[in-house]
Amino acid sequence: MTDPRQEIKAFASTIFEWPGRLLFPPVCAGCRRQVSQPGTLCGACWPKLKLLERPWCEVMGTPFSHDMGDGFLSADAIANPPPFRRARAAVSYSGVARQMVQGLKYSDRTDLAPWMARWMLRAGSELLPDADVVVPVPLHWRRFFSRRFNQSAELARAVAALSGKAFEPSAVQRVKVTRQQVGLGQREREDNVRGAFRVPAEAEIRVSGRNVLLVDDVYTTGATVSAVTKALKKAGAGQVDVLTFARVIPGDFQPGEAATI
């Protein structure tokens, strides 16, 4: 005979689950086909996600085609040393990853954030032990009010929750309404975000002397995270590491996709 308490429990959990399932059946994070678990990809989309793996540049986290040995740096890291210590990203910004980022950004698919954050934790496994606080790249308040949602903050919140680190969503402010970085070259992107970020005086205590894990959705040229890093350092932050869900990897980046970054 089955334990009636178990049956009641199973019945109760079904009751509590079904309205949500009925209203929001889980759909693939890539193509929106129905899937069994929320925040997952279907069998067709999963192989299209390009996870970034070692061997990679110790500073930039960009993959090498073959192992160059420990501590080998990419030409980019040597020619243009970034203000942050290390950058890591979970996936290459193409195909399905792009659809996921767009889904989180414009369609309020907050359900994707914890799932994306799990992949970020995997990519950032070396960065997390050193981090004292997790800080997102902020939106300007005007953009935040019109969109009511900062995708970087959602990812940072999930990364902080999953890793047990302190989450500081308002440590940095965007004080300049910047143009969208879409279609801008490297130099224009740098000019666009110069002086755009600052740590407000009342937030300095939360970053001063602390190692920061800076979170964004996509790493394109690094102009934005570099500008935020400079603002954090000015406020006395220790080391700054950068963790993003996706990264534009030359070669995977199709010119036709430029308009969506």
Which residues bind to Zn ion, rule: CB under 5 A? Answer: 28, 30-31, 42, 45
Question: What minimum distance in Å lies between the beta carbon of 32 and Zn ion?
Answer: 7
Which is nearer to Zn ion, 55 or 95 (by Cβ)?
A: 95
Question: What minimum distance in Å lies between the beta carbon of 260 and Zn ion?
Answer: 18
Which is nearer to Zn ion, 99 or 226 (by Cβ)?
A: 99
Phi, psi of 86 (to 5 degrees): -145, 150
Which is nearer to Zn ion, 2 or 36 (by Cβ)?
A: 36
Which is nearer to Zn ion, 26 or 169 (by Cβ)?
A: 26
Bridge partners, residue 56, by sequence? 63
Q: Are 235 and 207 a contacting pair, CB within 8 Å?
A: yes
Alpha helix ranges (H) inside the chain:
4-23, 75-79, 95-106, 112-123, 141-147, 151-163, 186-193, 204-207, 223-234
Which is nearer to Zn ion, 45 or 160 (by Cβ)?
A: 45
Question: What minimum distance in Å lies between the beta carbon of 41 and Zn ion?
Answer: 5
Question: What minimum distance in Å lies between the beta carbon of 8 and Zn ion?
Answer: 36
Question: What minimum distance in Å lies between the beta carbon of 44 and Zn ion?
Answer: 5
Residue in the block written with tokens 């414009």? 106
User: What's at 24, amino acid-wise?
Assistant: F
CB within 8 A of 44, min separation 6: which ones? 31, 33
